[in-house]
Structure 1
Amino acid sequence: MILTGYIFRQSIKNVIVSTLVLISVIWLSQSFKSIKLIINNGANLSDFFLLSMYSFPSWLLIALPFGTFAGCMISYLKLQNDKEIIVMKSSGLDYIQISKPAIFVSLISAFILFIVSHIILPQSYKNFKILQNEIRNSSSDLILKDNTFIELNKNQTIFVGSSSNNNLSQIFIQDKTDPLNINEYYAKDGFLTMNETPILILINGTKIVTNKQGRSTILKFDKYNIEIESNNSKKTTNRVVEYNEYNFFQLLEFAKQNNDKKGKLLAEANYRNTVTLSPIVFILLLMITILKDSFSRKNNIYKTIMSISLILIIQTLLIVIKNAVHDNVTFLPLMYLFPLSLIIISIILLQKNKKISDIFLKHKTVI
């Protein structure tokens, strides 16, 4: 019992670290899109962290099964290298007893995945898409970039040499709001006041008024206020609701109502259940690979490569089956039968004291 608790604690620590590393990798790969969205739409840094927080449950669904596998593999390979597994076998512990800590860890991971996929993910992903859409549609009309011409709306264009907060310098504005004249403003300095209607206050500048005949009038000013029109040409895009925003029962209900997307809806709904089986499958196969062969340093490298290869193959097959359900719902039972059959076979193999090579080799006949 003490030994089981020790292995369990070590495995939990390694699983947490491995999962966090995987989530960090996913976060780094996905954050570029969020950063681009934030910069292009003038949103706050807090919005970036909110987007990341809302994305966390969907990242966890990907990272936790592999993090569970990696963490337990690190723990048990260390035990193997220290020859502690040999001691446990010599003391009379069978493979199931040695595997118990890892199996407990996989059950905890499965429970977390169930809660995340059925309860947390739909709401968090919905919040993510709502915030993402709000950032795209409610960005400020005055997103100014240095040394760049910006169309504020269909009538006003601005160029700013440099800007710091709301203080501007080297300003040029072309204003076509007046149907009879084109007004152009040049100013050395200026600043913005953001009230209900943004107002640009120009300091020490020149106004050039050009009529339809091409005649220009030049006026100098010490201070001049320009009201910035709202961007009426800007359309609010309708948000497409994605499958991740629906819970299990909503997906099943929509599948009944929509025959064209029935396969995709059923596949997504049942994936919420089958994803919880992944860490259990991964751990049982890992235990077979590690415990069923004799110990050697060279053999441990083989075990690591074989374990990772098995997991990647199984994950690929799970994805293939899910995609097959998109086109043909008759494959739906395979989403459950495949992982459950792997679990049953793995438990049977662990209960039998056979080497992993015995799975593939028949009894030899002596000639």
Structure 2
Amino acid sequence: MNRIDRYILRQLVGGLLAVTFGLAALVWLTQSLRFIELVLDRGLSLAVFVQLTGLMLPGFIAVILPITTFVVVLFIYVRMNSDRELVVMRAAGLSQLRLGRPAMLLAFASVALGYALNLWLVPMSHTAFRIWQYEIRNEMAAILVQEGVFSSVGGDLTVYARLRDRDGTLRGILVHDAREAGAPATILAEEGRISNGPFGPRVTLLKGVRQQMERVPPPAGSPPGTEPTMRLSVLSFNENSVDLARATRQEEVRFRDSRERGVQELLHPDPAEQLRPREIARFVGEAHQRLAAPLTALTYALVGMAVALTGQFRRHGGGLRLAVGVGLVVALLAVGLTIGNLATRDNAFTWLIWVHATVPGAVALWWLVGAPGLPRFRRHVMPPGQPMASG
């Protein structure tokens, strides 16, 4: 690698790091706003919020890395062309491929990083994110009950404590449990303490009253159509316990989505899960997209090189090149989204994912080397001294 390659590569790497992390931070900021309410309701610290939402960054980077690679390659080469740097390099005898070698090195590095993200880091970080989110909603909420605040656990369970001592003892407790359909219960207790049970956190209540509405079937001999009546049942107790680990029965088993699974598990899911055919097709389509997505970084970089390095030099032609390049990649992104949705519904179209990831790059490389095989139309030049035909 000579000095020219290092000069171009230094600008490409610096631009890629700046654009990728800047765009990832912007996407992280917009997406993390969805979790502010969850964190505020549970009383979590700022550090927990940053760590929780930071686990989404690998997924964001994996999605935007091909786009930022294209943007950096296109803008750096267009700027160098506008500053006449490429004109000088071509005059020194450098070919198009020789000028594009630093961009190819950057593109291959982006492909390698994309595979590391898609095959290893993104599933691992997304799994940690889902597990942490699940614990916050179903377990940590019970531990972080604040005094004087009605803490909602999942929507079917509400806990209130008037005071909380330094040793963790809760005083003046109210628990409203609506997890049993048609029979909500309200529990009032003088004091209680939260402990870890075999199935998660639970609160032990002392000296209280349990009030529950119960359905009483109509007595025998009632006329047809008689609806059951509701009866208030009151039970005084010295000690009672309520499980706070799960707000609803449906959350007892957490389903692992496609982003938490490896490629091998997506292609060959466990039959014991009894997945529906629609879910299996979605998993297979996700596996092919995860394997083919890093290659789009190379394809988009080749498209940017083909737009920026080919064509005649124009003093004010940078804007047109940028518009053409951005338009081509926007069209490729739209086609890629359409193909991805189609392949996840019907796996017979998964081959289109690989066509989209490779064929545009091959066409751009063919155009970059001079489009061999394409017929050339040259203007006829009259020899000097020959008179022009009149009429």
Q: Give TM-score scaled by structure 1 length.
A: 0.74
1:343 aligns with 2:358: no
Alignment of 1:297-316 (within 5 A): 298-316=316-334
Unaligned residue ranges in structure 2 (runs of 5+): 177-186, 197-201, 210-238, 381-391
**Contact between 1:43 and 1:135, CA under 8 Å: does it hold in 2?**
no
1:318 aligns with 2:339: no
**Contact between 1:73 and 1:286, CA under 8 Å: does it hold in 2?**
yes
2:258 counterpart residue number? 243
Q: CA deviation digits over 1:168-196, x for unaligned, max 9?
A: xxx987699xxxxx9899xxxxxx99887
The whole-number CA distance in structure 1 between the counterparts of 2:106 and 2:345 is: 35
**Contact between 2:193 and 2:204, CA under 8 Å: does it hold in 1?**
yes
**Contact between 1:95 and 1:291, CA under 8 Å: does it hold in 2?**
yes
1:252 Cα deviation from its structure 2 partner: 0.8
1:103 aligns with 2:104: yes
Distance 1:90 1:154, change over 3 A: closer
Aligned residues with identical type, % of pairs: 21
Secondary structure of 1:254 counterpart: coil
1:95 Cα deviation from its structure 2 partner: 1.1
1:290 aligns with 2:308: yes
The whole-number CA distance in structure 1 between the counterparts of 2:21 and 2:116 is: 18
**Contact between 1:150 and 1:158, CA under 8 Å: does it hold in 2?**
no
**Contact between 2:266 and 2:286, CA under 8 Å: does it hold in 1?**
yes
**Contact between 1:42 and 1:139, CA under 8 Å: does it hold in 2?**
no
* CA RMSD, Structure 1 to Structure 2 (Å): 4.2
Distance 1:149 1:48, change over 3 A: closer
Distance 1:131 1:297, change over 3 A: farther
**Contact between 2:75 and 2:322, CA under 8 Å: does it hold in 1?**
no
1:155 Cα deviation from its structure 2 partner: 9.3
Secondary structure of 2:94 counterpart: coil
**Contact between 1:96 and 1:350, CA under 8 Å: does it hold in 2?**
yes
1:258 Cα deviation from its structure 2 partner: 5.6
The whole-number CA distance in structure 1 between the counterparts of 2:16 and 2:175 is: 61
1:137 Cα deviation from its structure 2 partner: 0.7
**Contact between 2:147 and 2:160, CA under 8 Å: does it hold in 1?**
no
The whole-number CA distance in structure 2 between the counterparts of 1:340 and 1:21 is: 28
1:151 Cα deviation from its structure 2 partner: 7.1
Distance 1:300 1:43, change over 3 A: same
Distance 1:39 1:258, change over 3 A: same
**Contact between 1:16 and 1:71, CA under 8 Å: does it hold in 2?**
no
2:11 counterpart residue number? 10
Q: Which 4+ stretches in 1 moved above 4 angstroms?
A: 148-160, 171-176, 182-185, 192-200, 227-233, 255-258, 361-366
Alignment of 1:1-367 (within 5 A): 1-141=2-142, 143-144=145-146, 157=160, 230=242, 232=244, 234-235=247-248, 237=251, 238-254=253-269, 259-296=277-314, 298-352=316-370, 363=377
Distance 1:173 1:124, change over 3 A: closer
Q: Give TM-score scaled by structure 2 length.
A: 0.70
Q: Which amino acid aligns with 2:295?
A: L
Secondary structure of 2:127 counterpart: helix
1:285 Cα deviation from its structure 2 partner: 0.7
Q: Which amino acid aligns with 1:336?
A: W
Determine which structure has the larger helix proportion and give its number.
1
Q: CA deviation digits over 1:63-103, x for unaligned, max 9?
A: 21122122223321221121111111222211111111111
Q: CA deviation digits over 1:261-303, x for unaligned, max 9?
A: 3431221101112111111111111111111123345321111
1:31 Cα deviation from its structure 2 partner: 1.1
Q: Which amino acid aligns with 1:334?
A: L
How many residue pairs get matched? Answer: 327
1:149 Cα deviation from its structure 2 partner: 5.2
Q: CA deviation digits over 1:224-255, x for unaligned, max 9?
A: xxx99656583472322110111111111129
The whole-number CA distance in structure 1 between the counterparts of 2:97 and 2:301 is: 12
Unaligned residue ranges in structure 1 (runs of 5+): 177-181, 186-191, 201-208, 210-226
The whole-number CA distance in structure 2 between the counterparts of 1:255 and 1:183 is: 46
**Contact between 1:255 and 1:263, CA under 8 Å: does it hold in 2?**
no
Q: Which amino acid aligns with 1:250?
A: E
The whole-number CA distance in structure 2 between the counterparts of 1:155 and 1:262 is: 37
1:51 Cα deviation from its structure 2 partner: 1.8
Q: Which amino acid aligns with 2:247?
A: K
2:217 counterpart residue number? none
1:4 Cα deviation from its structure 2 partner: 1.2
The whole-number CA distance in structure 2 between the counterparts of 1:120 and 1:300 is: 38
The whole-number CA distance in structure 2 between the counterparts of 1:157 and 1:21 is: 43
Secondary structure of 2:277 counterpart: coil
Question: Which stretch of structure 1 is more off in the superposition, 336-345 or 239-248?
Answer: 336-345
